[in-house]
Structure 1
Amino acid sequence: MMATAPVNNNFDYTSLNTKNNKVKTAAEQQQDSFMKLLVKQLQTQDPMNPMDNAQTTSQMAQINTVTGIGKLNETMMQMQSLYAGTQVMQAANLIGKEVLSPGKGFHFDGTNKADLRMNIPEGTTGAVLSVFNKDGVEVAKIPSSTTTPGLAKVEWDGKKADGTLLPAGEYTVAAKGQRDGKEIALDTVTWQVAKSVEFGSAGVGVYLANGNKTGFGDVIQIRAAGSSTNA
């Protein structure tokens, strides 16, 4: 089981297929405009009171600063595009694998324990995770064995409270706890098979087997499809 590092997903992937028709870079356009203004200033200056060398040098330094910043910005954009291309290949490799990401739906295979997670905020007590069948009926309730803040793992053996083993199929979860004397809802994290990925203006999106979508940057772990949920 391999964890992924946090990634910046704020990139317009549609720009990777856009042809660049610019004749001049933004930095070059800024430099041209600055030079035209400086030349015009020199041409229209008072011959009896010309611009001194220090002033000219200062304006030339400003030109170099503007040009340098513009070139730096374009270099960073090129690096971001290269990184985005690499991320496209990484995201494509998710297809057919199981990903752990924020959500409520999961598939129980009828044999292995289901690996479920809930996020416990600091100061929360009595955290409990409920499992529901496809009809929305609660079939199991599992208390967390820890109160440590963070992502707590909860395993469900596929059985009801009376010990009856439930069939394989799609299930959902919900979690809640107590904080400051009030009941609060807790975020849940589940495993789902990644069916496809989308590269759009909002970044990389991962479509899951249950029809939901999650961000590439929200994927916490990846494993081969069909792996034991006890892993």
Structure 2
Amino acid sequence: MADYMDTTNTTSALNNALASTNASAVRGSTPTNPNAELKQEDFLALLLTELQYQDPTEPMDSQKMLEQTSMLSQLSMQQKTNDVMQKLASQMESAFSMSAMNALGSYATISSSVTKDDATKSLGLPVNFPEDISGATIEVKNNAGTVVRNIELGAMTKGTATIEWDLLNNNKNQVDNGTYTYEVKYTTKDGRQMDMQNTNYLVESVRFQNGEAEFKVAGNYIKANRISEFSALPSSNS
């Protein structure tokens, strides 16, 4: 009479199955379970196999049976929880996407700080002039408040634009990683020296890159962390 399959034999059967999968991969054939993952159905099949080969005169310990059925129940609950969490994450992503689309046509208040890291090749600096200008200077400062770069602009018309900073300092060396702020001083057509005050820009469009919303303002896309507020109307400085 066949001996019943105890826990040791079950482990042996699992090892044999995994070995068979690996052997198939070595031979060049496509394994049926390339990641060697065990699902709830696999545990259920093992439990039924144990019951099939057990010795009728020495049936499986009821305590062990309860433990294994409890494991199956826990696996089932965990799978259901994972499914619910995936659906919830999908719904939250959809809700965020809809919320981002609602920003179209509104005005975004943009921070004057930008961050440079190893992956950053250049940074866009939005500007907004309330009138035509004869020239302007952008001062880029580091965390210590020291000016690291002066960007000179020529005559520009009233409105918004984005000035690309190549991440070089005044000595033409690349700046270190970190956070930088910028200030804009401009000269009006009649010679007045002014500081650019307005930081509100019309949201022209919205796009999603790797699930992250980016907003087009002043002709350039920026990430949501650059925006502190959305409003229906521009500020009085516009």
Q: State the TM-score, normalizing by the size of structure 1.
A: 0.53
Task: Letter of the 2:228 partner, please give it.
Answer: I
Equivalent residue, structure 2, for 1:107: 128
Alignment partner of 1:84 out of 86, 93, 97: 93
How far apart in 1 are the matches of 2:82 and 2:158? 53
- Any gaps of 5 or more consecutive residues in structure 1? 1-28, 140-165, 178-182
Equivalent residue, structure 2, for 1:213: 221
Q: Percent identity?
A: 23
How far apart in 2 are the matches of 1:76 and 1:83? 10
How far apart in 2 are the matches of 1:46 and 1:213? 71
SS of structure 1 residue aligned to 2:60: coil
Equivalent residue, structure 2, for 1:46: 55
Q: CA distance change for structure 1 residues 216 and 45 in 2, over 3 Å: closer, same or farther?
A: farther
The structural deviation recorded for 1:204 is: 3.6
RMSD (CA atoms)? 4.0
CA contact (8 A) 1:193 1:225 kept: no
CA contact (8 A) 2:162 2:220 kept: no
The structural deviation recorded for 1:188 is: 4.1
Equivalent residue, structure 2, for 1:172: 163
The equivalences for 1:122-137 within 5 A come to: 124-126=144-146, 130=150, 132-133=152-153
The equivalences for 1:29-44 within 5 A come to: 30-44=39-53
- Any gaps of 5 or more consecutive residues in structure 2? 1-37, 115-123, 133-137, 170-174, 183-198
The equivalences for 1:19-30 within 5 A come to: 30=39
Task: Letter of the 2:204 partner, please give it.
Answer: K
State the aligned residue count: 162
Alignment partner of 2:106 out of 86, 97, 121: 97
The structural deviation recorded for 1:39 is: 1.0
Are 1:187 and 2:150 matched, yes or no? no
The structural deviation recorded for 1:52 is: 0.8
How far apart in 1 are the matches of 2:149 and 2:131? 19
Q: State the TM-score, normalizing by the size of structure 2.
A: 0.52
How far apart in 1 are the matches of 2:140 and 2:145? 13
| CA-to-aligned-CA distance 1:153-202 (integer Å, 9 cap, x gap) | xxxxxxxxxxxxx752436386999xxxxx757434865432112246x1
CA contact (8 A) 1:131 1:173 kept: no
Rg (Cα) greater in structure? 2
SS of structure 1 residue aligned to 2:235: coil
The structural deviation recorded for 1:95 is: 0.9
How far apart in 1 are the matches of 2:180 and 2:150? 12
How far apart in 2 are the matches of 1:119 and 1:75? 47
The structural deviation recorded for 1:43 is: 0.5
Equivalent residue, structure 2, for 1:7: none
